[in-house]
Structures are given as structure tokens and as C-alpha cells.
Amino acid sequence: MASLQRSSLPLLASLALTLILAVGIVASTNAEDEQVAVGRVEPADLQDEEVQKAVDFAVKTYNDMNNDLYISKPIKVMSASQQVVAGKNFYLKIELGRTICSKAQSDFTDCPFNEQQNEQKRVTCNFKIYSVSWENKMSMTSFNCPRA
């Protein structure tokens, strides 16, 4: 009986080692996939409510920060992507146009774009918005509006 246990011991040890290595490879592969997915910048769905909130926040903050007397609003969201971090980063490229509504007005829902040739102001801006939805917090990390 003792000799049977001694001859089985190397076999059991090699089986245990094989099992440990197999589990380790699967676990490390899954961990790598999760790390890539968390930090990866991916296209965002423009219809998604969180993306819409980020667009609205970017435009509102842009209007608050510039010294134009008139409100600008989006003509077109040219691109949107997102990155999961400790919250989410949204990368937005938005074409904005000047409206006829002054910043002194309180209701901007029906503000048409300014159609007068010398008063039109269109600009394309890149925004990085950081959102922590479970804390109901949003901030503009950076933005730029390069001249064409």
C-alpha cells in the first residue's frame, strides 16, 4: 500500500501543478481583458442619455466661459467617445453656432441660429467631460476650439 502511494504521489503532484497553471492562465487572461476594457476609449452612442447630458453640459459650460453676448448651441455632434475610469470620460467634437438669443434671456428652448451673414459664428470644439453619475457630478476637464 505504501509503495502504491509513493508511486501515485508524483502523478498527483503533476496533476495539481497542471491544474494550478491552467487556472492561472485563464484568470490572468480574464484580468487582462477587464483592464483593457476599463481604460479603452470606445465610440459612444449619441442617443444614450449619459452622452446627451455630457453634450448639454459641454455646451452650457462653453456658453458660460465665452464672452459672446449670444448663446451658442450645437449644430452637429461630429463625434463622441467614452472611456471608463473612476467614472467616465466623454470625448466630444461638437460644431456650435451662434443663436439670436442673448445670454440675458432665461428661456433658450426655441433659439434659432443667427442667419445674418456678418453675425454668424460657427466653431468646432473638442471637449473632454468627466462624469461620476452615481455622485451626480460632471466637470469639463479640457476643451479647445481651434480656428479653421
* Domain ranges within the chain, ordered by starting residue: 1-39, 41-144
Q: Which pTM value belongs to this model?
A: 0.71
CATH T-level topology, domain 41-144: Nuclear Transport Factor 2; Chain: A, (3.10.450)
Q: Which amino acid is at 68?
A: D
Question: Measured in Å, how far apart are the chain's first and last C-alpha atoms?
Answer: 87
pLDDT digits (tens, 9 = 90+) for 17-63: 454 544 444 444 444 444 446 789 999 999 999 999 999 999 999 99
Write b or e for each residue in 52-87: b if 16 or more Cβ atoms lie within 10 A of its Cβ, otherwise e: eebbebbbebbbeebeeebbbbbeebeebebbeeee
